[in-house]
Structure 1
């Protein structure tokens, strides 16, 4: 399994890049970097492995810092984003990619979301900060899901599952012949 960061302006129709292929990201950590391999992964119905990822805007520089497991690994300089002194949308999710007319690999564990957090991939304890730097959990009216391959994968938002999970998104699926 790999962790990655993607930037795009049009859902990857003409723009978009991944990890260090995105110009402008400033790497600051010598041992942790975008695109690095994650050695431990969860097993369906078995041990769950979690990683902590956050993106936070520095109030002084306005740069967007990426943190992995509580350590800053680098930042996106504010100059990369036009008219964005703060974020007005936040996204969580997963993605697979294959050449045209080839089967898609599974997404996550290969299982569809079922509100059982030892089955499909998830992001938990979702929150974002407003312009006054107050944390908020997303409510249903602030959420929209995007699934361009519903025959192969799915995504579900759970507003508040409880103290351990909080607000969460669960996603994944078997992949297969999903179209281009």
Structure 2
């Protein structure tokens, strides 16, 4: 286990080759530069956890390209957490693919953990993990929600975890993506 417990943690990771030879979580190796360590720090436990059918807690997250430095800045609300330096990635002055979702991890042969509330997405944001107001920014700095034909959903173990992009729901919700699942015995 990365943190030695079963709690939910705020983390980031990077790789240039899908974690074959490069990549790192948080600041465990050179890469992500964390500038705020008092309000939000990578690896920190998330204390307010939503409950199925009950209270919902949200964390506002943005990842933005600085047009001058070409570094990618991670922020939560008005707090800049840190950045991925431009030198970390070759030719990464723009992104042709953007992803939202979740990740679980267990040792081979062990039961896979729940993701989110442990329920598959079902159009009800009170039932599974979600992203709302999922937006992308193009080269001209225009911000917009991805159209359904611009998206694809991926789960490497569909019997244990699901993901559905519902598109732009308008108003407060904006573009919505729901994901999660019960885990259990998922295979290798």
TM-score if structure 1 supplies the norm length?
Answer: 0.94
Deviation at 1:3, TM superposition (A): 1.5
Q: Is the 8 A contact 1:160 1:166 kept in 2?
A: yes
Hey, what does 2:46 align to over in structure 1? 38
Q: Is the 8 A contact 1:7 1:22 kept in 2?
A: no
Of the candidates 164, 169, 172, which is equivalent to residue 164 of structure 1?
172
Tell me, what secondary structure is at the counterpart of 2:103?
Answer: coil
Query: Which sits farther off after the overlay, 15-24 or 109-118?
Result: 15-24
Of the candidates 94, 115, 121, which is equivalent to residue 86 of structure 1?
94
Where structure 2 has 5 or more consecutive residues not aligned to the other structure, the ranges are 1-7
Of the candidates 27, 30, 48, which is equivalent to residue 56 of structure 2?
48
Deviation at 1:142, TM superposition (A): 1.0
Q: Is the 8 A contact 1:52 1:70 kept in 2?
A: no
Structure 1, residues 128-172: CA drift from partner, whole Å, max 9, x if none?
A: 111111102101111011100101010000012231211111000
How many residues were matched structurally? Answer: 180
Q: Does residue 1:126 correspond to 2:134, yes or no?
A: yes
Whole-angstrom distance in 2 between the partners of 1:15 and 1:78: 16
Query: Which sits farther off after the overlay, 88-97 or 11-20?
Result: 11-20
RMSD: 1.4
TM-score if structure 2 supplies the norm length?
Answer: 0.90
